Amino acid sequence: MKGLSFLTASIALVLATHAQAATPPAPQHYSNAAWTQPQKPFRIYGNTYYVGSHGLSAILVTSPRGHILLDGTLPENVPMIEANIRALGFRLEDVKLILNSHPHFDHAGGIAALAHDTGAQVVASAKAAKALKLGGEDPDDPQYGDASPYAKVEHVRIADGGETIKLGPLALTMHPTPGHTPGGTAWTWTSCEQTRCLSMAYVDSIALLTANNGHYRYTDPAHPERIADFRGTIDTLAKLPCDIMIAPHPDSINLIEKATQHGGNNPDALIDPNACKAYAAKAQVNLDERIAKENAKSKSPAR
Ligand SMILES: [Zn+2]
């Protein structure tokens, strides 16, 4: 009987696992309702499409030899992203690679399910891969303790800084941009329409935030690399090939409004070769403010 009850339990577990894969988690209430708000997918430029929610980017770069998806947003958005990919006329099983901006739940929470459903391989920097495998619970994350956990991504192929990931005619280059998280990454590629080819840049978040418990300080003298790394990120951002900048939070650059004005298919509104340089300047401001804030805190009398 013990054997039988074990078998019953095993079947129940298998059924539960399948049920979990088929049923996305119930929508939660996020501070930003746009994160789960449906968004009609649209072409950004050439073979680059927006397939995310209204408030969180997921980007599809397509080719006849397979597609690359950047970011998975939230777990409950997975059916929306999959429907958006299909609505554009593409097949889920043709998504061969999934890349990530940074391994927080609002950009990576859906990656495990998307990798499962498409069969795609997940590719990330070594530091991002570590966080993805931990389901976001990375002790080296400045927001560790506050950042929500998500489904662990079991298999991640490591990409080195400067490495170009290829899939058929597609070639996306990885630029490490640590700061918001240690594994933060910018990805760049080229998309063409007729004879005009443009540099596309998917550029990661640059907000320097820490968990409420304050265990993490960018100015920690034991970790001089934290400031040095972010200074490197600022340099990297300023030098990215960048005709059209895309960000994980589309509202941060009014991406959807610009792209869909005048009824859509309006790439010229998105072209701004100065966008990444301006973003780098903003990152410098964020760093200066963060350093000032932490220095002020360390000088204030202990309570
Ligand atoms: Zn984040």
Residues 6+ apart with CB under 8 A from 273: 242, 243
Helix or strand or coil: residue 159? coil
Tell me the pLDDT of the chain averaged across its residues: 90
Ligand 1 centroid – CA 1 distance (Å): 50
Ligand 1 centroid – CA 35 distance (Å): 13
pLDDT tens-digit series, residues 227-274: 999 999 999 999 999 999 999 999 999 999 999 887 666 778 899 999
Whether pLDDT at 141 is above 60: yes
Ligand 1 centroid – CA 220 distance (Å): 21
Ligand 1 centroid – CA 101 distance (Å): 9
Ligand 1 centroid – CA 182 distance (Å): 11
Whether pLDDT at 11 is above 50: no
Query: Does 222 fall in a domain?
Result: yes
CA-CA-CA-CA torsion sign (253, 254, 258, 260)? positive
Structural domain including 172 reads: 31-296
Query: Does 256 fall in a domain?
Result: yes
The CATH number that applies at residue 86 is 3.60.15.10
Ordered DSSP codes for 164-224: EEEETTEEEEEEE--SSSTT-EEEEEEEEETTEEEEEEE---------TT----TT-TT-T
Query: Does 302 fall in a domain?
Result: no
Between CA 87 and CA 65 the distance in angstroms is 19
Helix or strand or coil: residue 56? coil
State the pLDDT at residue 30.
Answer: 74
Please indicate whether residue 187 or residue 20 has the higher confidence score (pLDDT): 187
User: What are 15-23's contacts with CB under 8 Å, separation 24+?
Assistant: 21/113, 21/116
Total domains present in the chain? 1
> Which run of H or E residues covers position 245?
strand 244-246
**In which band, very low, low, confident or very high, does the pLDDT at 212 lie, cut at 50, 70 and 90?**
confident
Between CA 20 and CA 162 the distance in angstroms is 37
**In which band, very low, low, confident or very high, does the pLDDT at 4 lie, cut at 50, 70 and 90?**
very low
Q: How far is CA 39 from CA 200, 250, 293, 297, 302, in A?
A: 21, 11, 37, 41, 48
Query: Does 15 fall in a domain?
Result: no
Helix or strand or coil: residue 288? helix
Ligand 1 centroid – CA 248 distance (Å): 9
Ligand 1 centroid – CA 126 distance (Å): 17
Query: Does 229 fall in a domain?
Result: yes
Query: Does 190 fall in a domain?
Result: yes
Query: Does 60 fall in a domain?
Result: yes
Match 């650059």 to its residue by tokens. Answer: 253
The packing angle between helices 78-87 and 111-118, to 10°, is 50
Between CA 63 and CA 70 the distance in angstroms is 14
State the pLDDT at residue 211.
Answer: 82
Choose among 149, 143, 150: nearest CA to 213.
Answer: 143
Q: How far is CA 210 from CA 35, 82, 100, 106, 291, in A?
A: 21, 32, 21, 16, 12
CA-CA-CA-CA torsion sign (258, 262, 266, 271)? negative
State the pLDDT at residue 232.
Answer: 98
The answer, as to whether pTM is greater than 0.75, is yes
Ligand 1 centroid – CA 193 distance (Å): 32
Query: Does 301 fall in a domain?
Result: no
pLDDT tens-digit series, residues 14-45: 334 443 444 556 656 677 899 999 999 999 99
